[in-house]
Structure 1
Amino acid sequence: MLDLSANFCLKCGIALENRDIDGTIRKACPNCDFIFWGDYSIGVGALVIKDDKFLLVKRAQNPGKGYWTNPGGYIEQLESIEDTIVREVEEEAGIKAKIRSIVAIRDLPRSVHNLYIAFAMDYLDGTPIPDGVEADEAGFYSIEETESMNVAPFTKWLIHLAYNGKSEGLLKDLKPLVSLNDHVLFRIS
């Protein structure tokens, strides 16, 4: 399916044309090298555990208004994934946490193709306080407590995966065999 969301070149402003790029019809500029590859977003979510309880926030706006979810959000263009998830947890719930591992990845192909990366995070400091914009409640809850809450189905899946998972997940590679400047790498343990 051809994505029609871009009609003009983002580099020079010329109207884009349909062109076969490596066997796929894409919008491309006839004047310069710009190719519209599609519309993508990368979301991140945090599974912060403290005393066998998960940090959850109650969504104050859509998507998911009224549901309890794990804190998270979208990566800004020039922001690292690590900075994003640490920022989102602190913004939405007032909690300082650090990344331990990647526990799940969700691929949701649609008009804006969404990739979501869920991180297990270690609690560092703070008391759950909602931001009052994206979240109107925040707290740490046990799996038993979540059974009577309006927890979003995807969040339920993530909680059970993080709580019952047999793997450490993908861990940040602090000493890669080959140094790759500006890369943050995660690997199996």
Structure 2
Amino acid sequence: MSFRLAAYGVCVEDGRVLLGRHVSSDGRSTWTPPGGGVEHAEDPIDTVVREVAEETGYDAVVERLLGVDSRVIPAAEARRGEKHQNVGVFYRLRVTGGRLRPEPDGGIAEAVWTPLGDVAGLRRSSLVEVGLTLARTLPATGHVAPVPVGGLVRH
């Protein structure tokens, strides 16, 4: 089983959320919160700030820890065809500068501010659901129920 520790940013301003459109090797697009893998010896807070800058062009600061999500993706649904565990640390972020742009030579084809009411109609990662639920409910445990995957919601 493969394993990944990642940090994700939830940026919500004026009824909109910052999302990136990831394009897979088979050409399918999936919307996701900005974020990515924690490098060896890197603090997850530094990861999310770095990833937001890389994927969106924005400078951001962490306002608070929202929670942690751990999910196991069955081999049949995982990108590499092997069972995979992703542990995601979610932070609420505030944009402080920079200019919105796609990730140069990266996996994010575009970054956009999406009205919260439009999110349900997007083909999106379950990470979007987790991040928005954590930001809306602020659970004391920092944990939300698993997100059902299917329809427009993907791993």
TM-score (norm 2): 0.72
Gaps of 5+ in 1: 4-38, 171-189
Q: Report the identity percentage.
A: 21
Query: What is the CA–CA distance in structure 2 between the aligned matches of 1:113 and 1:157, rounded to whole Å?
Result: 15
Q: How many angstroms does 1:81 deviate by? A: 1.3
Q: How many angstroms does 1:82 deviate by? A: 1.4
Matched residue, 1:157: 130
**Of the candidates 107, 112, 116, which is equivalent to residue 70 of structure 2?**
107
Which runs of structure 2 are paired with 1:136-151 in the superposition (5 Å)? 136-151=109-124
1:101–1:169 contact (8 Å) kept in structure 2? no
1:58–1:65 contact (8 Å) kept in structure 2? no
Matched residue, 2:153: none
Residue 127, structure 1, aligned to residue 108, structure 2: no
Residue 48, structure 1, aligned to residue 11, structure 2: yes
1:41–1:113 contact (8 Å) kept in structure 2? yes
Residue aligned with 1:55, SS: strand
Matched residue, 2:88: 116
Q: How many angstroms does 1:86 deviate by? A: 0.3
Going from structure 1 to structure 2, the CA distance change for 1:91 and 1:63 (only over 3 Å counts) comes to farther
Query: What is the CA–CA distance in structure 2 between the aligned matches of 1:72 and 1:49, rounded to whole Å?
Result: 15
Residue aligned with 1:129, SS: coil
Query: What is the CA–CA distance in structure 1 between the aligned matches of 2:48 and 2:42, rounded to whole Å?
Result: 10
Matched residue, 1:30: none
RMSD, matched Cα: 2.7
Gaps of 5+ in 2: 74-82, 143-155
Q: How many angstroms does 1:116 deviate by? A: 1.0
Please list every run of at least 4 consecutive aligned residues from structure 1 whose deviation after the TM superposition is greater than 3 angstroms: 62-65, 109-113, 166-170
Going from structure 1 to structure 2, the CA distance change for 1:63 and 1:108 (only over 3 Å counts) comes to farther
TM-score (norm 1): 0.60
2:58–2:96 contact (8 Å) kept in structure 1? yes
2:20–2:31 contact (8 Å) kept in structure 1? yes
Bigger share in helix: 2
Query: What is the CA–CA distance in structure 2 between the aligned matches of 1:47 and 1:89, rounded to whole Å?
Result: 10
Residue identity in the other structure for 1:74: G
Matched residue, 1:59: 22
Bigger share in strand: 2
Residue correspondences, number: 132
**Of the candidates 76, 82, 87, which is equivalent to residue 50 of structure 2?**
87
Query: What is the CA–CA distance in structure 1 between the aligned matches of 2:140 and 2:13, rounded to whole Å?
Result: 17
Q: How many angstroms does 1:40 deviate by? A: 3.9
